[in-house]
Structures are given as C-alpha cells and as structure tokens.
Structure 1
C-alpha cells in the first residue's frame, strides 16, 4: 500500500520503518505507536528527503525529547562554529536541532546540517525569507512565503515552525488586552508586522490548506508556533495566549484531515503554579497533539542562569503533559549562545526531561538512576562517572580534588556514609582516624 505521511500510513494500518525504529527505541509495541500516530497523539518528524535520519517519536507515553536551537545572526556569522555545535549536540544525545539562522543566504548551512545530522531538523521558514529574497519584510509576497516553505521541504527539513494562529482576531484580542512584553516570538512579531504593514490576513492562516499540501508532499511536520506565548510572568495565561491556542486547536483538526502531523508550541514565561493548568488546557484544546514548550521560564530575573529557570519549568511541564522541551541556555536574553552555553543548556534540559520521565512513569526511565545509586553504594567511581549525564564534567570535578583515600571523595573522606555502610555490612574493620 502507498502512503503520503506517517499519519496516512498509520490510518491505513501500515507499519513504517520509522515506526519500527521508534518502537525499538521506546520499548513500546509498534501497534501502540501506530495507533497513537493515527490519532495525532504521537508524531514522527521525518522528511522523505532527510536520508540519514534516525527517527524519533514525540508524544503520548514516550520519553520527553529535547531540541537544541542554533544558527547564525547578522552579528555572529560563523558557519563552522554552528556546524561544531551541531556535532556536539548530536554527541550529547539531543533528539532535535533547529536551525534558526536569521541573516543572509543560509541554504548551504541548512543543507550541511541536514546532511550530517541523524537528529530531526527544524526551521522557521519566515526567518529565511528575508535573506533568501533580500527584501524588506513588507515587500515579501504571499507566494514568496510559501515558496520558502517548499524549499525547506525539498531540502529535507523534518519540522517547521509556522505561526498560523496569529490571525486578525488574535491581533484584536492582543490590542484590547495590553501586555507588559507584547509579542516576544520573533516569527510571530514578523508576521504581526507584515499583517499590519500590508493590512492583510496572516497568509499561513488564510491559505492554511496550501501549507498542508506542501507539508504532506514531504511528510514535513508542522510545529504550530505560539506567536502570543508569554514573554514575562505578567503575561502568562492571558487572553491573547488562550485565544491563539483555541485557533491552533482548530488548525490541528484541519491538518489531521489531510494527514499532516502536528506539534503545538507553548510558553514561554510562566509562574510555577500556572504550568500544570496550561498543560491540561493545551491537551484539551488541541485534542492531545504533542506539546512543545520553551521552558517555561519560571522567573524573569535570572539572565545568565535561564537554563536553570527553564529546567525547573520544563520538568514540571513535562510531568504534566509536555512532550518536547526546547532548551534554553545561560545566554538567553543576552547574546547568541557559544559552544559552552549550548552544552550547559543541553545538560539542564536533559535533566528536566529525565526527571519528568521518572515522574510520569515512562517505562525503564528510573533504571538509569538505580544503576547510578548502585555504583554509589559500591563506591564505584568509574561507574558513577560513566553513568553521569555529563561524564566529562563529572570526571573533571573528581580529578580536580583528589582524596587521600581513593575510594572516597574530598567532601567526607573516610566519614563517607557509603564507605561506612559498605564496610560494616560486609563485616570489615572501620578505620576512620587511622590509615
């Protein structure tokens, strides 16, 4: 039987190669995977032209996945550094990479990223439009917007962020309900500006079926962008955010009718106590479609440490329903991240994702922690380092402060509780003072 997309295959009862890969990675029966893809509750972003992809599933009952943002800007145009980031992100087990390059001719960089990456690749086509056509935003035509989307599909992009939910109604809601930080989504603000400057409807909303046809052709997943995501705690869960979310739910059902896979993007900045309710609201309004969140950042006052504020929110969000976490680095709000910023962001987000997987009972998630605990009880330092989420840092810390007694560390020395319990339970002599 022929099929156009993973969702089309799933509805027809076809088990694809990608479904089998995800089934093996997740240790979940492939028929369960297929059934949830048919319902739209799991997606496998895998463009037909991304030949070396190692498929990953995102959605209900699966491990929480993480995304790494990178790409050049006008002020930082080092293609080689961004490719080094790609390679490092893959080594650090990121499941997705988004090329958010927003200056100049970046087609070559995008193609190289796709060529070398087994991770799924995402983009925001509107960023590319300005550099691709070398035109001011106001002068870009509807056809040109869609031609860029088509180009990204041909190149092998697996998922694209499209801010289709910011329509004229959403903008009127935004104008009536003043915000502290207005629209903080870069793609959302560009579309808002285009609409205002041209006095026209959002082309991705008005011609949504045209977008669906392009995505179906390449099996390119749409990540429905939240243009009105809150950019401050003050703006969280407000009328603009919810108005857009309702529209995204309506667009989701339209996409499923054409067998196009959908991810919903979410906040943003949000107080801790509002996160659980937002996860429930999204799942209800968008019919269980996978939820992709940036953070959420749980305080606005920690520039330089926003990987931490994001990981706190991300762990809570994923516990209560988010399926996909976009990493945030210490450089958020301050500069384009460098390689070390990226590493810190990946580690923080992986910690959040894993903590949430344990909380929501993902099969075998806690096994990793149990292995670490066993190594600690046995004072197996090599084992502990090997099991660490960041073995390089764990090894460096261990070697920077070496203990007098090799089986301990410089925190407790021979007063180490693990050492004490191991010796006493094994019937050994306990020498704390003497050598």
Structure 2
C-alpha cells in the first residue's frame, strides 16, 4: 500500500520461498490495543512474513492504525468485519456503500491486502446444505446470510470491478477469500468448495485486467490424499495465481493440537506449490491465541514452509540445514542453537539436562 511506508517488500509466489502469515486481532471480549501490537511484534520476531488483523470488537480503526504504523511486514484485513460493526452486527443491513467506504478507510490507513469474499454467490449457497459443518468461514456466512435475506447476488461479486479500482488506486493486493471452504474433512473437495474456486478464477482475471495483484485463499480441512487435487485445481482454474491456504488440517480429532494436524497438511500443500501458509495455533477451534500460542503457531509453520522449500529443491533452502548438521556433528552447541528456528527452546532443553557451560563444548559429549 502506498500509505504503508513502514513495510518492506514481500514477494509471494510458488517460485520463491514459501511464506507464512500470522493472524492476530481482538474480539468483543478480549485483548487491548497494546496486546495486539505486542502479538504482532512477537509473531514477526519468530518469523511471520505477513500479519492479518482480524479484529472484530470495539476500536477496530485505532487498533489497526497502531498495527500498521508499527509493522515492517505487509498487513492484511477482512474489511467485511468492520463493515459489519458499522451496521450493528446485522448482516442483512450491509450495503455496497458501507462496504466501499470501509475499503477506502482501510486503504487510507495503509492496509496492504484485503480478503474479499466475492466468490460466495447466491446459487452456490444451497450446495452447502448437505455438509457436515455447513459454512464455517465468518466472511462466507455473513455474505450467505445477506444473499439469502435479500434474494440477490452478492454485492461483492456485482461491484468487484469497483473494488478493483479502489485497490489499484492505493496499490492494495487481493486475497480472494474462500467463504465456502470445508470446515471438516467430510466436506473436503465438495461441489460448493470447487464451484467457489471457479468463480475466484474468474475474478482473478478481472483483477489482473485492472492491474491488481491477487492471491487465492484455500482450505481448510482436507485429508492427505485429497490435498494434491486442491493444488492442481487451483493452478488450473486461477491462472497460477499464488495459493494461500489455512493449513489444511488433515484430521478433525485433535483440538489443542491443530497446529500439528494442520502443519502436516501445510508442508504437503507447500511442497505441491502453495505460495503462503496461514498459521494455525494450538487454540484453533477453542479460543483466541495468546503470545505463547502465536509463537507455537509461527514456529510450526516455519518448519512446514522450510520442509516444503527443501522438497521443492529451492536453491538456498539446504544451506541452513547443512550448516546446522555440520555444527551438530562437530558438537558446536552454540552454533546449533543459533542456527535453529527457536534458539531459546533448543538452549533451554539442552540446559535442563546439561546445564554447565563446559557441557556445551565438544569434548564433553564425544
């Protein structure tokens, strides 16, 4: 965004290193402005390449201002959340005018990319009726409720060219939202999910014609044997626009450990060509993450992204692995710690059993 001079450029695409995004944001019941800025700094400290502010409570504007002004990485938002706050939380009262004004307000602040749920179309909503978990995307459910109440096509879809004009004026990128993503492995790769993906491909071409940058959001909950189909279909219908996935989670039976269930899927889909992975924390499905959850999520996803880079044969990916392996073989403990993704944890685990400084020297362990 032209109004976010604090940001460094960030390249996102399948020919480059896999990037990771960390979600932060307050709700109506938790956290303050200072806490959210602290969470953002903490996420970036551990390796987040972009940060999304998903705040839904009071003070959305001020929280976002503080986050953008303090962020050296691109910041994304879901403008629909703030638009909903402006109409008192009643989805049926949303309008194009309220949404348009929200886009401009956020672009003026310096938001770098918008999640736009323009793929949730009126005639796709009945396709979700037979699902185990229906529509789980917050943005998707808001738009579905609006469409059904008014018996009209989504105003996001109908006004997409105007949305592109606003984004182009401020150099804001799009993250085209998957409002019909599967919320359980039972619903993975179903008709609703792929119908929306086709529309996202159509919208990508419109955005490109308007000189707007686009990435495509992906699932969700997908068992391992169905992950590659997601990647192949996205490349085919979206013109190879960068794919940006939430995991995917490979099983539904591990609340409290969904950073692991999703890290497995993230490593796989990153290997197949996904450009950016949205982290999942241990609190997924259970509550809002604190700073420890944020760190756990970021580290888990740095591992998944790096594993994918290695599998893709990225030229620079192996250098760090080889350096750490040599340090390990030569018992250079400090080098091992410093080359790891989380030096603090590696050092503390070592010190639990061998706390003395001399135990970090080669002769003690050879």
Question: TM-score per shorter chain, which class?
Answer: over 0.9
- Aligned residue among 155, 158, 165 for 2:119: 165
Residue in 2 that maps onto 1:406: 359
Pair 1:325-2:325 in alignment: no
Pair 1:106-2:72 in alignment: no
Partner secondary structure for residue 359 of structure 2: coil
Residue in 2 that maps onto 1:174: 128
Contact 1:163–1:188 (CA under 8 A) maintained in structure 2: yes
Residue in 1 that maps onto 2:22: 68
**Deviation sequence 1:324-375 (CA, Å, 0-9, x none):** 0000000000000011011000000000000000100112111000000000
Contact 2:47–2:299 (CA under 8 A) maintained in structure 1: no
Superposition RMSD on alpha carbons, in Å? 1.6
Residue in 1 that maps onto 2:215: 263
Partner secondary structure for residue 366 of structure 1: helix
Residue in 2 that maps onto 1:132: 86
Partner secondary structure for residue 160 of structure 1: strand
Bigger shift: residues 236-245 or 71-80: 71-80
Pair 1:246-2:198 in alignment: yes
Residue in 2 that maps onto 1:355: 307
- Aligned residue among 76, 85, 89 for 1:122: 76
Quote the offset at 1:133 in angstroms. 4.4
Partner secondary structure for residue 317 of structure 2: coil
Q: Which has the higher contact order (CA 8 A, sep 6+)?
A: 2
- Aligned residue among 335, 338, 344 for 2:290: 338
Point out where structure 2 has 5 or more consecutive residues left out of the alignment: none
Contact 1:102–1:128 (CA under 8 A) maintained in structure 2: yes
Contact 1:79–1:109 (CA under 8 A) maintained in structure 2: yes
Residue in 2 that maps onto 1:204: 156
Q: Distance in 2 between matches of 1:336 and 1:60?
A: 30
Task: Flag as ranges the 4+ runs of structure 1 deviating above 4 A.
Answer: none
Contact 1:68–1:327 (CA under 8 A) maintained in structure 2: yes
Q: Distance in 1 between matches of 2:89 and 2:227?
A: 40
Q: Distance in 1 between matches of 2:133 and 2:260?
A: 21
Contact 2:87–2:93 (CA under 8 A) maintained in structure 1: no
- Aligned residue among 65, 75, 87 for 2:41: 87
Partner secondary structure for residue 21 of structure 2: strand
**Deviation sequence 1:14-47 (CA, Å, 0-9, x none):** xxxxxxxxxxxxxxxxxxxxxxxxxxxxxxxxx1
Quote the offset at 1:135 in angstroms. 5.2
Q: Distance in 2 between matches of 1:267 and 1:111?
A: 29
Residue in 2 that maps onto 1:51: 5
Residue in 2 that maps onto 1:28: none
Q: Distance in 1 between matches of 2:44 and 2:327?
A: 27
Pair 1:236-2:188 in alignment: yes
Residue in 2 that maps onto 1:297: 249
**Deviation sequence 1:139-178 (CA, Å, 0-9, x none):** 1222101111111111110011011001122223334xx1
Partner secondary structure for residue 384 of structure 1: helix
Point out where structure 1 has 5 or more consecutive residues left out of the alignment: 1-46, 420-435
Quote the offset at 1:100 in angstroms. 0.2
Q: Distance in 1 between matches of 2:93 and 2:237?
A: 35
Partner secondary structure for residue 389 of structure 1: coil
Residue in 1 that maps onto 2:167: 215
- Aligned residue among 104, 108, 111 for 1:150: 104
Pair 1:272-2:234 in alignment: no
Partner secondary structure for residue 325 of structure 1: strand
Q: Distance in 2 between matches of 1:344 and 1:271?
A: 23
Aligned residues: 365
Contact 1:60–1:290 (CA under 8 A) maintained in structure 2: yes
Partner secondary structure for residue 30 of structure 2: coil
Contact 1:296–1:314 (CA under 8 A) maintained in structure 2: yes
Residue in 2 that maps onto 1:77: 31
